[in-house]
């Protein structure tokens, strides 16, 4: 009996060792990194530098695939619906906390296995360089005195930068509708419209406004983040100026479908952290003015829950929740 049990234990041990060794080889084939937005944009650029550095960490090719459409729904759905074997990952964006409020999808941050947040570009409050406001307080006073006069732009109706200024006003006990929103196809056309005098405010990220700030055509009055921006450290924070804790940023993070093996999850999460910590990644992001912010998987998951709640409250305030 003792010999039988010893042999059985040996068989079990060998089987476990073989299984462990088999997965220790992960990944054994190329990975796919899905991007929900088009080639050439900031999200695509971030995905491609992350993908190229993951290749070095994992020892396998990482193929970046752009899956666009449906205001981000198509790509985000493709990531969530991927085979949960560790070979499909994706770069999700702040819109995952917005789309379900708009009735576009049932997807939320909880639809994924979080591997790490790698980037966040907080909203700034940009005005023309020759605007008469010396600081954010001057601008807010002018808005209070003339509700409806000052228009803002920088994305579509209900987009991330629309919610940035609406949420800021709401948090400051001001009517979000006191600054009418003029929809645009992005920050660049919104900024050009502002420089031309069509609107007064563009609450986009500082990297998006960088060229016009450096050209002396635009100035930033505040940043919606508790920390000063690395790109322009002299721009005060909203907290410093008003006491408001409101924050808003366009963020990006690496995820996988739910239910991937724990070994794959841990290996991928560790690889994402190494990529984030690398000089190559920091230099690439810095050269483009992109912010670098890291959250490990558990904190990233909690962050997405709060982000969704904050976005939902703001979207309700401006009447775009369905």
Please spell the DSSP secondary structure of 184-249, one letter per residue.
-SSHHHHHHHHHTTS-SBB--BHHHHHHHHHTTSEEEEEESSSS--SS-TTSPBHHHHH------E
- Per-residue model confidence (pLDDT) at position 193: 96
Q: What is the mean pLDDT of residues 231-249?
A: 94
The more confidently predicted of residues 41 and 263 is 263
Burial class (CB in 10 A: 0-12, 13-18, 19+), 294: middle
pLDDT over 80 at 13, yes or no: no
Tokens of 107: 């997807």
What rounded mean pLDDT belongs to the chain? 91
- Per-residue model confidence (pLDDT) at position 7: 56
Distance of CA 173 to the CA centre of its chain: 26
Span 88-137, pLDDT tens digits: 999 999 999 999 998 999 999 999 999 999 999 999 999 999 999 999 99
Please spell the DSSP secondary structure of 88-130, one letter per residue.
EEEEEEGGGGTTTTTTS-S--GGGEEEEEEEEEEEBEEEEETT
Burial class (CB in 10 A: 0-12, 13-18, 19+), 130: exposed
- Per-residue model confidence (pLDDT) at position 24: 58
Instruction: Kindly report the number of other CB atoms within 10 A of residue 37's CB atom.
Output: 20
pLDDT over 80 at 52, yes or no: yes
pLDDT over 80 at 149, yes or no: yes
pLDDT over 90 at 270, yes or no: yes
Q: What is the mean pLDDT of residues 299-311?
A: 95
Confidence of residue 42 (pLDDT cuts 50, 70, 90): confident
Q: What is the mean pLDDT of residues 269-288?
A: 96
pLDDT over 90 at 144, yes or no: yes
Angle at 46 between CA 283 and CA 186, to 5 degrees: 115
Phi and psi, residue 143, nearest 5°: -65, -45
The more confidently predicted of residues 192 and 17 is 192
- Per-residue model confidence (pLDDT) at position 321: 86
Span 54-88, pLDDT tens digits: 999 999 999 999 999 888 999 999 999 999 999 99
Q: Evaluate whether 147 touches 178 at the Cβ level (below 8 Å).
A: yes
pLDDT over 80 at 22, yes or no: no
Instruction: Give the C-alpha separation, 260 to 266, whole Å.
Output: 10
Q: Evaluate whether 79 touches 257 at the Cβ level (below 8 Å).
A: yes
Q: Evaluate whether 149 touches 197 at the Cβ level (below 8 Å).
A: no
Q: What is the mean pLDDT of residues 302-320?
A: 90
């Amino acid at each position: 009996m003792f010999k039988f049990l010893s042999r059985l234990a040996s068989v079990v041990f060998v089987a476990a060792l073989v299984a462990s060794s088999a997965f220790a080889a992960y990944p054994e084939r190329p990975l796919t990194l899905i991007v929900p937005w088009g080639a050439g944009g900031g999200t695509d650029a971030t995905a491609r530098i992350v993908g190229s550095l993951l290749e070095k960490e994992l020892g396998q090719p990482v193929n970046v695939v752009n899956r666009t459409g449906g205001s981000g729904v198509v790509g985000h759905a493709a990531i969530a619906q991927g085979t949960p074997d560790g070979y499909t990952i994706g770069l999700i964006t702040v819109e995952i906390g917005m789309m379900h409020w708009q009735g576009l999808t049932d997807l939320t941050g909880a639809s994924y296995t979080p591997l790490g947040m790698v980037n966040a570009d907080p909203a700034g409050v940009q005005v023309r360089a020759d605007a008469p406001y010396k600081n954010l307080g001057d601008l807010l006073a002018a808005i209070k005195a003339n509700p409806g006069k000052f228009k803002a732009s920088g994305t579509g109706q209900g987009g991330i930068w629309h919610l940035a200024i609406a949420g800021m006003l709401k948090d400051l006990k001001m009517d979000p509708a006191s600054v009418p929103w003029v929809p645009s196809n992005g920050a660049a056309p919104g900024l050009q419209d502002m420089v031309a005098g069509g609107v007064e405010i563009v609450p986009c990220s500082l990297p998006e406004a960088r060229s016009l700030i450096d050209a002396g055509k635009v100035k930033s009055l505040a940043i919606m983040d508790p920390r000063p921006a690395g790109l322009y450290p002299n721009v005060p924070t909203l907290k410093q100026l008003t006491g408001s804790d409101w924050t808003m940023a366009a963020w990006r993070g690496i995820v996988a479908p739910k239910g991937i093996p724990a070994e794959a999850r841990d290996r991928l999460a560790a690889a994402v952290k190494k990529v984030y910590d690398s000089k190559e990644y920091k230099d690439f992001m810095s050269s483009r003015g992109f912010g670098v912010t890291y959250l490990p998987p558990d904190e990233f998951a909690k962050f997405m829950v709060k982000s969704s709640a904050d976005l939902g409250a703001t979207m309700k305030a401006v009447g775009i929740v369905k």
